[in-house]
């Protein structure tokens, strides 16, 4: 008798946390756009390309240093009798030790970060920021377990993007070559501060605690599949950039990176729900309530794919104009942008299914993810070399990894949704006719604006994008949303809003 009510309360909690994080997504978008404009207009494709490759290596090192605690911390806290502060600080120690090892490796071999250009100046010092990224991730994961998603919004959507945007502009006049790297380091340190302050206020400094080697190693061992899943998911979205760095000059990587930054905006919607979805799945798994897990995954998956499809239409139809805002030399990345945006939509069902699989079938999920990543890498190389042999232009070749990404994540979504459906005994993803009708109407509206003459491109962007948005959500609101969906878009009564997530 209590399960339906409990399920409704959990959806309400997901909606409440999701609204907070979508607000963070909007704030991050507002702050990220100035950075893209500054980086594109001031620094240019070549400098942006070198920066993009260095950052991809640093973020991978930081992700591995967390040892899966971004997802695994919720399960560790839900199933322990130890003081939660002790468990979290154990994880912080593990992450710090691994970060030091990773930083030392990158500092000693900086060519890992700059594979297609020489290492100059103080660029190797970028490796020292690994621990800041890892500690910030673990702090925010611990806060999310206690229902505090506001801290993640502040750190990731306000402090980090605004710091890098402002610093990139200021450091350009200090060093037009290294300014982006300086700005990135400063933004990561600022985000760490914004993460640690609420973390310490919530959990406090551990009293009567001292790290023990055996529990720390056990914690790391238990989280290897989770760390692998995180690394594989991250690799799926970033290996294309690294492959480009091996096959093309930095300027091509810079153009692709800007397209990737625009396309990754929808991807932030998925990560916006991770802090509230993960703890809910962990609690329902501990209670043996698999139907509730399926309901949560299905509901959030529909929310995300609905929002991501809107961004695909809004940025993909006028892709050349969107890339042209960043800089004229970046228009060549319009084709890659369209495939990358499509990949975000195709990936969302699998990403939500994986939120359950990392707890219920972590080893099988890891093996599937490894196979998919290998397929993506092989397909990327195959497409680039094939187009090169056909004599296609370098910009068409550079879109090959984006095509491979879209095909891979679509296949991955089909496989992982099927896996989770078999585990929970019910479907975990479904689309509705109103969703396809909304895409059709918005597509027609967007196509009409693309028929305007080039002299009116500003109308295509300033009027066409809002028109696509309005047409899409008019149909979605009328024919695609049910009562549970509407919880995401309306303010709850004060009594409900006070219910802890």
pLDDT tens digits along 193-212: 999 999 999 888 877 777 66
- Please answer whether residues 423 and 291 qualify as being in contact, where contact means their C-beta atoms are separated by less than 8 angstroms: no
Backbone angles phi, psi at 480, to 5 degrees: -120, -10
| Residue 80, number of CB atoms within 10 A of its CB | 11
| Residue 189, number of CB atoms within 10 A of its CB | 16
Q: What is the C-alpha to C-alpha distance for residues 220 and 80, in angstroms, rounded to an integer?
A: 15
Of 315, 306, 305, 374, residue with least CA distance to 340: 315
Q: Which residues contact 316 (CB under 8 A, 6 or more apart)?
A: 337, 338, 341, 342
User: Can you give the pLDDT at residue 500?
Assistant: 39
Alpha helices in 39-83 (DSSP H): 44-65, 69-78
45, two tokens: 């494709």
User: Can you give the pLDDT at residue 225?
Assistant: 72
User: Can you give the pLDDT at residue 481?
Assistant: 79
- What residues in the chain have per-residue pLDDT under 70? 1-29, 71, 211-217, 219-220, 223, 226, 265-276, 484-501
- Please answer whether residues 225 and 361 qualify as being in contact, where contact means their C-beta atoms are separated by less than 8 angstroms: no
Widest Cα–Cα separation across the chain:
71
Burial of 125 (0-12, 13-18, 19+ CB in 10 A): middle
Q: Which residues contact 460 (CB under 8 A, 6 or more apart)?
A: 318, 321, 449, 450, 452
Q: Which residues contact 105 (CB under 8 A, 6 or more apart)?
A: 61, 112, 127
Q: What is the C-alpha to C-alpha distance for residues 36 and 193, in angstroms, rounded to an integer?
A: 24
Of 257, 394, 268, 395, residue with least CA distance to 326: 257
User: Can you give the pLDDT at residue 498?
Assistant: 37
Instruction: State pLDDT tens for residues 111-131.
Output: 888 887 788 777 888 898 999
User: Can you give the pLDDT at residue 133?
Assistant: 92
Angle between helices 250-286 and 319-326 (to 10 degrees): 110
- Please answer whether residues 273 and 152 qualify as being in contact, where contact means their C-beta atoms are separated by less than 8 angstroms: no
Q: In the chain, what are the helix, strand and coil shares in percent, each to the nearest 5?
A: 85, 0, 15
| Residue 107, number of CB atoms within 10 A of its CB | 15
Is 206 strand, coil or helix?
coil
Q: What is the C-alpha to C-alpha distance for residues 71 and 351, in angstroms, rounded to an integer?
A: 13
């Amino acid at each position: 008798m209590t399960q339906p009510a409990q399920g409704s309360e959990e959806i309400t909690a997901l909606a409440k946390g999701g609204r907070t994080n979508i607000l963070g997504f909007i704030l991050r978008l507002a702050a990220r756009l100035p950075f893209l404009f500054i980086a594109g207009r001031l620094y240019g494709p070549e400098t942006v390309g070198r920066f993009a490759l260095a950052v991809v290596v640093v973020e991978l090192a930081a992700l591995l240093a967390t040892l899966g605690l971004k997802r695994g911390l919720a399960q560790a806290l839900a199933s322990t009798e130890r003081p939660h502060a002790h468990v979290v600080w154990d994880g912080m120690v593990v992450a710090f030790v691994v970060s030091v090892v990773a930083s030392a490796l990158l500092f000693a071999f900086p060519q890992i970060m700059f594979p297609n250009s020489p290492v100059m100046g103080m660029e190797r010092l970028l490796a020292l920021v690994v621990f800041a990224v890892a500690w910030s991730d673990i702090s925010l994961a611990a806060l999310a377990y206690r229902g505090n998603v506001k801290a993640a919004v502040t750190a990731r959507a306000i402090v980090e993007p605004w710091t890098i945007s402002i610093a990139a502009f200021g450091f350009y006049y200090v060093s037009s070559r290294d300014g982006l790297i300086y700005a990135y380091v400063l933004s990561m340190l600022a985000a760490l501060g914004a993460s640690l302050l609420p973390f310490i206020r919530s959990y406090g400094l551990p009293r009567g605690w001292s790290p023990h080697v055996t529990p720390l190693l056990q914690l790391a061992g238990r989280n290897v599949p989770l760390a692998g899943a995180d690394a594989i998911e991250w690799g799926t979205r970033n290996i294309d950039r690294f492959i480009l760095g091996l096959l093309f000059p930095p300027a091509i990587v810079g153009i692709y990176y800007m397209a990737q930054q625009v396309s990754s905006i929808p991807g932030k919607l998925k990560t916006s729900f991770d802090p509230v979805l993960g703890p809910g799945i962990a609690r329902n798994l501990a209670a043996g309530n698999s139907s509730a897990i399926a309901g949560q995954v299905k509901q959030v998956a529909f929310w995300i794919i609905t929002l991501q499809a809107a961004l695909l239409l809004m940025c993909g139809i006028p892709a050349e104009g969107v890339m042209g805002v960043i800089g004229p030399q970046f228009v060549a990345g319009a084709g890659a942008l369209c495939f990358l945006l499509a990949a975000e939509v195709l990936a969302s069902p699998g990403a939500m299914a994986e939120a359950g699989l990392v707890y219920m079938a972590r080893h099988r999920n890891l093996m599937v993810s490894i196979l998919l990543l290998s397929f993506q890498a092989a397909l990327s190389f195959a497409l680039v070399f094939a187009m090169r042999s056909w004599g296609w232009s370098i910009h068409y070749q550079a879109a090959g990894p984006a095509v491979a990404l879209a095909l891979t994540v679509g296949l991955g979504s089909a496989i992982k949704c099927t896996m989770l459906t078999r585990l929970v005994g019910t479907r975990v993803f479904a689309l509705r006719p109103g969703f396809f009708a909304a895409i059709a109407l918005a597509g027609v509206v967007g196509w009409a604006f693309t028929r305007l003459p080039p002299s009116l491109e500003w109308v295509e962007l300033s009027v066409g994008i809002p028109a696509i948005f309005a047409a899409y959500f008019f149909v979605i609101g009328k024919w695609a949303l049910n009562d549970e969906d509407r919880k995401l878009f309306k303010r709850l009564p004060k009594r409900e809003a006070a219910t802890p997530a």
